[in-house]
Structure 1
Amino acid sequence: MAAAAESAPAGLTLVGVGPGDPELLTVAAVRAIAAAGVVAYPISAEGAASMAAAIAAPWIGPEQRRLPLLMPVVEAAEPRRRAWREACDRLAREVEAGAAVVFLCEGDVSLYATAAYVLMALRRHHPACPVALIPGITSMAAAAARGAWPLALQREQLLITPTPDTGEDMDSLLITAARANRVLVLLKLGRRWRWLRPLLEARGLLEGALLARRVGWPDELIAPAAAVPAAELPYFSLLLLRQGRAEVLP
């Protein structure tokens, strides 16, 4: 059930709703949603469900107006630019009409986030529109916590990157990371796990790595990477990989 709150002044708040579990929304996120008259969120196609709205559903009240915004998942640049422009125009019109608006974004609003593109479009086309951002818990942070897997220790570096598309690029990434004592967070595993798992096994890097699939959702999987067969995974899957050891450990 949505938390009771007084209406907020006109403006737009970009809200990170975390990776999937409604309990992982921050207090600030829940308060912003409760105070909004309009709750906007991205959809990939007309009539499609929104993952961000599904995560925040327990905190959205029936009296709040929902505003789905089309954000097609395509490779071509122009449809994406057009969608961002149309979304920012609609959000700006709502604010100009006096509405307090939240735009829900899965995960965090600044990390590979739909909200980041909306923000850039607003700054370009509607610079006077008041915008606030509320960060959200990332899938990698939630996975590390649920798997009791420290993301970085002492002087380790941390690299967050989409999984490379080829074994050659992955080898280069592993070599560079080993030299720099760099922990890797590989996002968007998807179909790449078919070839990445045997590659890591052949290099003796599979043991100790942690794999996470759809963190926070009912079909969540947090498991040692060695226990997950080489098969296509959902798009929202990631791998945590450490090649070295910190100098001083308990």
Structure 2
Amino acid sequence: MGIGPGDPSLLTLAAVKAIKTSEVIAYPVARPNTHNRMAAKIADRWIRQDHQHLPLLFPMVDEAETRQRAWTIAAYTLQDLVAHGKRVVLLCEGDSSLFATCSYVLIALRHYWPDCLCDVIPGISSVSAAAAIGLWPLALQRDHLLICPCPDTPEELEFELDEAKARGRVLALLKLGHRWDWVQPILKQRLLLSQALFAEKVGWPEQHVRPAENIPASRRPYFSLLLIRQTWPDVLP
């Protein structure tokens, strides 16, 4: 269930209803016994004392086997609760189908327990929220929109920028983080900083959403993104 990027007021009515009518609130954590429960914090005002809390461990590692094991264990845990008649929601930051951990859990559930009753509730993505906060048109008329993780190398970014310019494509680069220290100079060289929107920790009290030209080259938090527009439609007000 998508609960938006951070601002509790961005939860949909469907998400709030699902929380209120559930018995178990499941949410992801990156480490055992951690207090960093971002998804649970977003939905905190609707979580009751009688709700059962269920932190599910999803380690942020590159090793495929570790991630697959975590998804399978989470799916088994949720399926077991549903099989015993419990109403369970799995909270997911942003949208539940866009680079979302719960997507992998859903795939595992559908694979191992195809009869397990599941509903997916969409949420507002950080990309949509950042564009709205920054008064930044995300896509217009026949624009293409590419949402993807930020490339890992300058060469890959240069290629994506060239492709985007040729195709009238708006880029939404997620997980910008430490890459901003070399991404910023590339955009500066191409005179694109004034046409790009930088956002980090969208929806949280410490959020920054501002033109990219106001953000110096440096390492930024993991939850940061960049919107880049190189062309505009021919017909505008």
With normalisation by structure 2, the TM-score equals 0.98
How many correspondences in the alignment? 236
Give the % identical residues: 53
- The equivalent residue for 2:159 is 172
Distance 1:249 1:46 in 2: 52
With normalisation by structure 1, the TM-score equals 0.93
Distance 1:245 1:98 in 2: 53
The aligned runs of 1:1-250 (5 Å cut-off) are 15-48=1-34, 49-250=36-237
* Structure 1 stretches of at least 4 aligned residues deviating more than 3 Å after TM superposition: none
Amino acid at match of 2:20: A
Distance 1:126 1:95 in 2: 11
Distance 1:75 1:50 in 2: 21
> Can you list the C-alpha shifts for 1:18-41, whole angstroms capped at 9, x where unaligned?
000011000000000000001111
Q: Secondary structure at the match of 1:42?
A: strand
Q: 1:50, CA displacement in angstroms? A: 1.6
Q: Secondary structure at the match of 1:207?
A: helix
> Can you list the C-alpha shifts for 1:182-219, whole angstroms capped at 9, x where unaligned?
00001110010000001110111111211001000111
Distance 2:68 2:153 in 1: 28
Q: Secondary structure at the match of 2:160?
A: helix
User: What are the ranges of 5 or more consecutive residues in structure 1 without an aligned counterpart?
Assistant: 1-14
Q: Secondary structure at the match of 1:171?
A: helix
Q: 1:228, CA displacement in angstroms? A: 0.3
User: What are the ranges of 5 or more consecutive residues in structure 2 without an aligned counterpart?
Assistant: none
> Can you list the C-alpha shifts for 1:116-174, whole angstroms capped at 9, x where unaligned?
00000101111111000000000010000000000001111100011101111111101
Distance 1:187 1:73 in 2: 16
Amino acid at match of 1:71: F
Amino acid at match of 1:128: D
Distance 1:218 1:138 in 2: 17
Distance 2:57 2:232 in 1: 45
Distance 2:195 2:144 in 1: 17
Q: Secondary structure at the match of 1:161?
A: strand
Tell me the C-alpha RMSD between the 2 structures. 0.6
Amino acid at match of 2:219: E
Q: Secondary structure at the match of 2:68?
A: helix
Distance 1:146 1:199 in 2: 25
Amino acid at match of 1:228: I
Amino acid at match of 1:107: G
Amino acid at match of 1:198: P
